[in-house]
Amino acid sequence: MKHLLSAADLSLEQALKILDTAEAMASTQSREVKKLPTLRGKTVVNLFFEDSTRTRICFETAAKRLSADVINFSAKGSSVSKGESLKDTALTLQAMRVDGAVIRHSSSGAPYRLANAGWSHVPVLNAGDGNHQHPTQALLDAMTLRRHYAPSLGDDGTPAPGSGLDGAHVVIVGDILHSRVARSNVDLLHTLGAKVTLVGPPTLMPVGVEGWNASISYDFDAALATEPDAVMMLRIQNERMSAAGGGYFPSPGEYHRAYGLNKSRFQALHPKTGIMHPGPMNRGMEICAEAADSSKSVVVEQVGNGVSVRMACLYLLLAPEGGLL
């Protein structure tokens, strides 16, 4: 595999290889000197055509921890604002002899186009495209889940190599329609053996969702009553809703009452149920402050695992000895 474009492209063997490598990367990050010489001499360009905090900083940190040189590209302030196409941007970067490209784009399929159009011949890593895919987010979520819920743990508290998520149950709640995180997690969690339940109002469920590898529910309280291992709250994506004309639910208050992890639902959570969120969080909308800041929340841990997962992906795609096949 030359590129990482979709969580659906990963076999069980490939997914476990990335997760096991991410654990190895994480073990190096508690050292005083965190840098590894693995990608010394390589240049990675971060192409971000959409705003980002966690993903962009995580990819930059991951590349630098592997000793790669990093070029950060933002559509704002670049020639894209003057009308430059993705093709011409890619050709410019190819002329500069970069070794790998990380791309986030508002258009679904842009990373695939960059990887397969012949404009560039470097590995492409999808950092999120439209409402399509976000594979590294699904991988860091899986890494977090493995650390807490994998049935076989190593002596040091980390999952034993090759551990999947057989038997785990994850409830994903919110704006499924616009969520690349939901799509990627359904694909990867199914591959790893977990059961997924999608919860949200009918207006925020995609057409054809019944064909996904997940159960569908419109009742959040009923889903929580099944005592899942984790509940993942999704952000309401107002920017995509506004572009489509809005009208997906009557009011923020009504949405919070029906589908928000409010104080009463948080207090009623089963002790084993962890709280996840891909960020950024809208406190008071999809999640209350008590839940976001509680000991059951692994949101900050997800961010930390994001660095390790992206180090693993860059290593496996760019290092001569990596070999994500």
Instruction: Kindly report, residue by residue over 289-318, the tens digit of the pLDDT.
Output: 999 999 999 999 999 999 999 999 999 999
**pLDDT (tens digit, 9 = 90+) per residue, 16-72?**
999 999 999 999 988 888 899 999 999 999 999 887 888 999 999 999 999 999 999
pLDDT at 135: 98
What would the two tokens of residue 325 be?
Answer: 């096949």
Same domain, 57 and 161: no
Say if residues 34 and 65 touch (Cβ distance below 8 Å): yes
Same domain, 139 and 159: yes
Q: What is the DSSP letter of 160?
A: P
Beta-carbon contacts of 154 under 8 Å, excluding residues fewer than 6 positions away, are 160, 161
| Pairwise CA distance, residues 213 & 198, whole Å | 10
Residue 124 belongs to a domain with what CATH number? 3.40.50.1370
2 part of a folded domain: no
pLDDT at 81 over 90: no
Which of 81-85, 92-96, 237-241, 299-303 has the weakest average pLDDT? 237-241
Instruction: Tell me the average pLDDT across 319-323.
Output: 76
259 part of a folded domain: yes
Same domain, 46 and 160: no
Phi, psi of 28 (to 5 degrees): -90, -10
Same domain, 118 and 183: no
Task: Report which of residues 324 and 214 the model is more confident about.
Answer: 214
pLDDT at 232 over 90: yes
Which of 80-84, 103-107, 170-174, 271-275 has the weakest average pLDDT? 80-84
76: containing domain: 7-133+303-318
278 part of a folded domain: yes
Instruction: Tell me the average pLDDT across 125-136.
Output: 96
Task: Tell me the pLDDT band of 151, cut-offs 50, 70 and 90.
Answer: low
Same domain, 61 and 190: no
pLDDT at 224 over 60: yes
Same domain, 156 and 86: no
pLDDT at 240: 60
What would the two tokens of residue 128 be?
Answer: 């999120």
Instruction: Give the per-residue SS3 of 95-139.
Output: HCCCCEEEEEECCCCHHHHHHHCCCCCCCEEEEEECCCECHHHHH
> In the chain, what percentage of residues exceed pLDDT 70?
91
| Pairwise CA distance, residues 172 & 196, whole Å | 7
Task: Report which of residues 82 and 254 the model is more confident about.
Answer: 254
Question: pTM of the prediction?
Answer: 0.93
Q: Where on the phi/psi map is residue 249: left (φ > 0), alpha (ψ -120 to 50), or beta?
A: beta
Domains of the chain: total: 2
pLDDT at 160: 83
Amino acid sitting at position 248: Y
| Pairwise CA distance, residues 312 & 23, whole Å | 9
Same domain, 307 and 208: no
Instruction: Tell me the average pLDDT across 185-209.
Output: 96
Q: What is the DSSP letter of 280?
A: -
End-to-end CA distance of the chain: 5
pLDDT at 124 over 70: yes
Same domain, 122 and 151: no
Cis preceding-peptide flag for 280 (omega within 30 of 0): yes
The four Cα atoms 63, 186, 146, 26 give a dihedral, to 10 degrees, of: 0
Task: Tell me the pLDDT band of 152, cut-offs 50, 70 and 90.
Answer: low
Same domain, 158 and 259: yes
pLDDT at 249: 79
pLDDT at 324: 60
64 part of a folded domain: yes
Same domain, 90 and 171: no
Which of 66-75, 124-133, 135-144, 180-189 has the weakest average pLDDT? 66-75
Mean pLDDT taken over the chain: 90
